[in-house]
Amino acid sequence: MDSAYEKEMKKHRDLAECRSNLYALLSSIYLQIPESKTLSLHWEPALKLLEFPQKEAEKFLQEIKEGLSLIKDNIFERKFRSEEHLSNLSRDWTRLFRGVNIRGPLPPYESLYRTGKLQDKPAQEICRLFSKMGIRVPEEWHQPLDYIGVEFDFMHLLCTQERGNWEKNQLGLVLEVVEIEKSFLDDHLSLWIPIFCEKMIEQAQEIFFKGIARLTKGFINYDQIWTSYLFRLLQNKGRNGCF
Residue by residue, DSSP assigns 77-102 as: HTGGGHHHHHHHHHHHHHHHHH--ST
For 233-242, what is each residue's pLDDT tens digit? 999 877 666 6
pTM: 0.93
Q: Once rounded to an integer, what is the mean pLDDT over residues 163-169?
A: 95
pLDDT category of residue 23 using cuts at 50, 70 and 90 = very high
Identify the three-state secondary structure at position 189.
helix
pLDDT, average across residues 50-68: 95
What digits encode the pLDDT tens for the residues 128-160? 999 999 988 887 778 899 999 999 999 999 999
The number of residues in the chain equals 243
More confident residue, 79 or 45: 45
Instruction: Tell which residue, 30, 62, 16, has the closest CA to residue 158.
Output: 16
147 φ, ψ (degrees, to nearest 5): -75, 145
Which residues, at least 6 apart from 1, have a Cβ–Cβ distance to it below 8 Å?
none
Give the whole-number percent of the chain exceeding pLDDT 90. Answer: 72
Average confidence score pLDDT of the chain = 90
Is residue 109 classed as helix, strand or coil in its secondary structure? strand
57-61: average pLDDT: 96
